[in-house]
Amino acid sequence: MPDPINWSLAMPYMIAALGFGYLLGSIPFGYLLTRWAGLGDVRSIGSGNIGATNVLRTGNKKLAAATLIADALKGTIAVLVAARFGPDTAILAGFGAFIGHLFPVWLKFKGGKGVATYLGVLIGLAPWVALAFVAVWIVTALVFRFSSLAALVAAVVVPALLWYLGWSQISQLFAVMSLITILKHHHNISRLLAGTESRIGAKG
């Protein structure tokens, strides 16, 4: 029988992991990169989001790709660094990075929708399932040309697949993250139902 967790010793590490993940995740790369490129405030165009899809609406594909990679790396790095102290701290750091991207302290807690950081956390915790996320996203995006719909479908598939594979603790984390992702896309869902959602590549 495994030794019981000494919560008095573990709690500081868990709080530190959550805080570290949050601060890393709250770095608003989409906002910073578009500012540095002289394109102004990305929040003033399209959906007003700081994520890669909205950065793409500036017409700069390289900048959008850089935003996607940077936002994903926030989640992956948070997980890998915290994993040195155990699986629980890795999970908490990943969740912190996800929440940090959604509610960055530097932008008055108004951030992105978390899809890239969600993927980054998944890469750190379950890389093979991350490949499934990417595959589902690509197929859905190619068929329907809606980034939001692709993200929503992938977010539904991931926790179910993790549960099927027997990774119950990680599946619970991603069930929560998927629910938050769906809630953050409520405007997109309304526009999808109304037929007014912007397609991939459309400029704001």
Mean pLDDT by 10 residues, the chain (204 residues): 47 92 97 93 87 87 95 98 93 97 95 96 98 98 94 98 96 98 95 90 54
Query: Cα–Cα distance between 132 and 137 in angstroms, integer?
Result: 8
Residue 109's pLDDT is what? 94
Radius of gyration of the chain (CA): 17
What does the pLDDT read at residue 7?
A: 43
Determine how many CB atoms are found less than 10 A away from the CB of residue 45. Answer: 17
- Residue ranges covered by each domain of the chain: 7-194
pLDDT at 45: 86
pLDDT at 5: 43
The C-alpha atoms of residue 155 and residue 159 are separated, in whole angstroms, by 7
Predicted confidence at residue 8, as pLDDT, reads: 53
Residue 132 sits at the vertex; the CA angle it makes with 130 and 137, to the nearest 5 degrees, is: 95
Quick check: 122 and 158 in contact, CB under 8 A?
yes
